Amino acid sequence: MNPEQLRLFKRITLDYFAKLAPAEQPAMGEPHMHFGEPELLDYTSLIEIDGEYQGCIYLTSPEAMLRDVLLINGEQKDSPEHLKDMCQEFSNVLSGNASKAFGGNWRISVPRSLSLAEVRALDLPASTFVMPITWRGQRALLVVGLRAVREAA
Amino acid sequence: MTSLLVLPQAVYRRAKAPHELPGDLRLTALEWALYFAVTGTHTAAEIGREMRADEAARDEALARLFALELIEEQQLNASEYVRAVAATGDREEKTLVEFLVRAARPNAAAGRGGEAPGTPRQALRDGASVPHAGTSPRSAWPHAASGAASRLPRPAQPAFGFKPLPPPDGINKENRPMSGSRRLSLRALMNLIEKQAGSREAGQLDIYRVFVRVDTVLLKRSGIETLRFTEDRLVSDPELEQAIVRSVKKTLGLDCPDSIWVDVA
C-alpha cells in the first residue's frame, strides 16, 4: 500500500458520499492511529486484504448515518435488516474502491456487512490507521488495519 | 539452581517470557518490577536507580530472580561493557590505569565467588534460602529492612570513573543509558519519518507501518491507545522505546538519531 493508492482510495470513498448529497460534502478529519480494541460503531462494512501485509479495510458507521442514506435512496424503513442491507451497499462500494485503488498488488475478499456484535467477534488487527469521515453531522470511521505478514502467520 | 554475583554494570534480560511464568509464582513488588524492567538493555545500576531501590534490595531481588531462573545475564562486547560501566552512575574521576585495573578485577574485594561458607550469598548459592514459586516472599525471603543478616553482601563498588564520549548516531543505541532525563519523543520521531518520506501522507503511512510492528500491549501499558500524527508523547518505558527503535530500523531501514530523544526536567 503506497501513499498514492491510499490517497485514491480515500478520495473515491469520499466521492461516494459526495454523490449521495451533493449539497452536503463529506469531510475527512485528521487521521490517527489506534491500538488495542478497535474503534467500532453500530455497523461495519468490511473487506479483508492480503498482499505485502494482511489485514482489512472497514468503514464503521453509526446507525443514524445508515438511516440517512436509506432515506436518500427513498427507503423509509429502517429495521436492522434494512440497515444491514445499507451497510452491505457500503461494503460493495468499499470493495470496488479498494480494487480500483490497490490494483493487482492485493487480494481482496468478498465484502461483508456486520453488526456491532458480529464485528466484535472477529480478530481484527490491533493497530489501525483511522480516518474519520464527517457527513451530515454524523461521523463514520474509515479504517485500515494491517498486520505484517510474518507476524500474522 | 545457581546464584548471582550482582555487579552494578551487569545487564540482565528475561529468561522466561511473562506467558511462560508458572501461574502460582509469587514475587515481591520490587522483584516483579525488576523482572519486567530487565530487557537486556540497561544495567542493574540504572534500573535500580530508576526504581529508587537501594542497592542491597536491588541486588537481593535480582539474585532471587536469577536463582528462580526468571532472568539471565546479557553478554556484552567490550564497547557495550564500557558503556555499561559508564552508566552505573559512579561520578568519581579515575585515571585510565585505575579504570583498566578495576575493570580487569571488577570485584576484587568480594573475590570471584570466594565468599566464606555460611555467608548469606553462599547460602543462596547452596540453594538453602531461595524461596520457590508459591511460597510467601515475606516469610521465605526476609526483606532488606528486616536485618543486615538477611542481606546479600554487597560487592565492592567498582571505582570506575571512565566517562566515554557519546557514540555517533546509530551506534550502540541498544545500550543507551536510561537516565531519568532522556525520553524518546514520538512527535520528533514522527516528524523525522514524515521528513524522510517526502510527503505528509507518505509519512503517516510509514509511521503506521512502524507501529504495526510494535506490540500494542507495550503501547497500552504506556497509556497510548490513540496517537495522532501531530501529538507528542514521551516514552518512558525502555521496552517500548526499544520496540519502536527496532521497528523503525526493520520497517524503514532507519537508525534513530539522537535528535528524537529529548531531555526532560
| Shortest Cα–Cα distance, A80 to chain B (Å) | 30
Is residue B104's pLDDT more than 80? no
A151 close contact with B: CB closer than 8 A: yes
Q: Which of A1, A10, A11, A33 to mutate to probe the B interface, most B CBs <10 Å?
A: A33
Helices and strands (H and E) in chain B: how many = 11, 7
Bridge partners of A58, per DSSP, are A46, A143
Collect all residues with Cβ–Cβ distance below 8 Å to B199 and sequence separation of at least 6: A3
CA distance B125 to B118: 10
The burial of B11, by beta-carbon neighbours within 10 Å (0-12 exposed, 13-18 middle, 19 or more buried), is given as buried
Mean pLDDT, range A110-124, rounded to an integer: 93
Q: What percent of chain B has pLDDT over 70?
A: 63
List, for residues B181-229, the tens digit of each pLDDT value. 789 999 999 999 999 998 888 999 999 999 999 999 999 999 999 999 9
CA distance B68 to A36: 32
Collect all residues with Cβ–Cβ distance below 8 Å to B163 and sequence separation of at least 6: B86
Is residue B5, in this structure, part of any structural domain at all? no
Is 3.40.1550.10 the CATH classification of the domain at A3-10+25-152?
yes
| Shortest Cα–Cα distance, A122 to chain B (Å) | 17
CA distance B223 to B216: 10
| Chain B interface residues (partner A, CB cutoff 8 A) | 197, 199, 201-202, 204-205, 207-209, 211-214, 216, 219-220, 224-230
Collect all residues with Cβ–Cβ distance below 8 Å to B165 and sequence separation of at least 6: none
Same domain, B101 and B16: yes
Look up residue B21 and give its amino acid: L
CA distance B112 to B115: 8
A34 close contact with B: CB closer than 8 A: yes
Minimal Cα distance from B229: which residue of A? Answer: A32
Query: Of B86, B114, B142, which residue constitutes the final position of a domain?
Result: B114
C-alpha cell read off for B129: 534460602
CA distance B103 to B85: 9
Q: Which residue has the higher pLDDT, B110 or A88?
A: A88
Put simply, the answer to whether B220 touches A129 (Cβ < 8 Å) is: no
Query: Of B114, B130, B145, which residue constitutes the final position of a domain?
Result: B114
Put simply, the answer to whether B225 touches A34 (Cβ < 8 Å) is: yes
Distances in Å between the Cα of B40 and the Cα atoms of A99, B8, B67 are 45, 14, 17
Chain A partners within 8 Å of B199 (Cβ): 3
Q: What percent of chain A has pLDDT over 90?
A: 51
Is residue B97, in this structure, part of any structural domain at all? yes
A28 close contact with B: CB closer than 8 A: no
Give the per-residue pLDDT at A152.
44
Per DSSP bridges, beta strands A43-50 and B234-235 are unpaired
C-alpha cell read off for B141: 525471603
User: Do residues B47 and B33 touch, judged by C-beta distance below 8 A?
Assistant: no
Is residue B83, in this structure, part of any structural domain at all? yes
CA distance B84 to B43: 6
Chain B partners within 8 Å of A144 (Cβ): 208
Chain B partners within 8 Å of A7 (Cβ): 201
Q: Which residue has the higher pLDDT, B77 or A75?
A: A75
Bridge partners of A71, per DSSP, are none
- Domain borders along chain A are 3-10+25-152
Same domain, B105 and B187: no
Is residue B249's pLDDT more than 50? yes
Expressed as residue numbers, the domain containing B34 is 12-114
Q: Which of A29-38, B89-98, B168-177 has the lowest mean pLDDT?
A: B168-177
Is residue B140, in this structure, part of any structural domain at all? no
Give the 3-state DSSP-derived string for B105-117, with helices as H, strands as E and coil as C: CCCCCCCCCCCCC
Give me the helices (H) in chain A, please: 3-20, 63-72, 80-102, 116-120, 149-152
Give the per-residue pLDDT at B3.
58
CB hemisphere CA count around B83 (13 angstroms): 20
Q: Which residue has the higher pLDDT, A6 or B141?
A: A6
Mean pLDDT, range B234-260, rounded to an integer: 92
Instruction: Give B164's pLDDT tier (boundaries 50, 70, 90).
Output: very low
Q: Which of B208, B228, B229 to mutate to probe the A interface, most A CBs <10 Å?
A: B208
Bridge partners of A131, per DSSP, are A142
Total count of domains within chain B: 2
Put simply, the answer to whether B213 touches A151 (Cβ < 8 Å) is: yes
pTM (predicted TM-score): 0.57
Put simply, the answer to whether B205 touches A1 (Cβ < 8 Å) is: yes
